[in-house]
Amino acid sequence: MGEFHGNRPYFFKLIFKGHNTEHLQIPPKFVKHLPKELPDQAILRDSSGDEWRVKLCKTAEGIYLQDGWKQYFEDHSLGDNEFLLFKYNGEKLCFDVIIFGKDGCERVYGSVIRTNHETASSSGRPRKTSLRSHLLHQSKKPCKDSPERSKVWKMAESFTSDFPYFKTCMSKCNVGMGPVLLVPALFAREHFPQCTTKVVLRNSEDQSWEVKYATHGNNHKLSQGWRVFVHDNKLKIGDICIFELLAKKEILVHVFRAPKIELTCNRV
């Protein structure tokens, strides 16, 4: 446990295979940071800005995240040696949860967009997600906005379709050595078969690539063939990709190119 900038306390949890999905205990030494009169629920917010409402349960053994934790666990495909960092915001008992996979890379989740163009969260209410805020949140030292960068954000945010789709900002894990692409669990469960199969990715020039879609428990990803797609389409960190499901196993990938990083950055 420790404190971030602005004296924001935090704690971490290691999630192993076979981890209890029914509840998660808040470390006893961390409880001193919580209000004496606990609300009925806490809010868990992931890297896309989506929120999960989880009931708080107080027992003689401690305080637990209970009802709603299993849904969060499944939606984020946990249970494969992940490292979770819970940053406490204080307001409305909200935690920003940063998830690191066993490869040591931070998982950056794309927003799952339904045909009404709103993000569905497990809280049961649709909520619009600001992609621009999401991208800024990922940067440790966000650079000053430029007209070019703002244009890319606006273009990606203005995208709409009658087909289901999700958005992802490319990170090192997506385009570096041995890259993979995590498919949001909500999207995978609704639109993909629950077995390993092949899907076809197409770009705007109607070129196609066959990519392996692998699912194991709550893990859903594009793996074999994804590296070739990344190379052929010259994807790089910061590019925004929208994956639009046109048919059962056919996805059109819209790429919004990130501008070159400015040399002048704001320090935070």
Strand runs (DSSP E) across 104-239, as ranges? 112-113, 119-120, 126-127, 165-169, 181-182, 197-202, 208-216, 219-222
Q: What is the predicted pLDDT for the residue at 152?
A: 72
Structural domain boundaries, residue 34: 2-100
Task: Classify residue 194: in a domain, yes or no.
Answer: yes
58 with 144, same domain: the answer is no
122 with 213, same domain: the answer is yes
pLDDT in tens, the chain (268 residues): 554 445 679 999 999 887 888 899 999 999 998 988 888 999 998 877 778 899 999 998 899 999 999 988 887 878 888 899 999 987 678 998 999 887 777 776 665 544 333 333 333 333 333 333 333 333 333 333 456 666 777 788 888 888 999 988 888 889 988 888 988 888 888 898 888 999 999 999 999 999 999 987 667 889 999 999 999 999 998 888 999 999 989 999 999 988 765 434 444 3
CA 201 – CA 249 distance, rounded (Å): 9
Residue-level length of the chain: 268
Task: Classify residue 206: in a domain, yes or no.
Answer: yes
Q: What is the predicted pLDDT for the residue at 268?
A: 38
pTM, full prediction: 0.55
Task: Classify residue 125: in a domain, yes or no.
Answer: yes
CATH number assigned to the domain comprising residue 169? 2.40.330.10
Q: What is the predicted pLDDT for the residue at 140?
A: 32
120 with 252, same domain: the answer is yes
83 with 34, same domain: the answer is yes
Q: What is the predicted pLDDT for the residue at 138?
A: 37
Task: Classify residue 214: in a domain, yes or no.
Answer: yes
Q: How many CA atoms lie within 13 A of 241 on its CB side?
A: 26
Picking from 100, 130, 165, the residue at the C-terminal end of a domain is 100
119 with 249, same domain: the answer is yes
Q: What is the predicted pLDDT for the residue at 87?
A: 92
- Total of domains in the chain: 2
The 10 Å Cβ neighbour count of residue 165 is 26
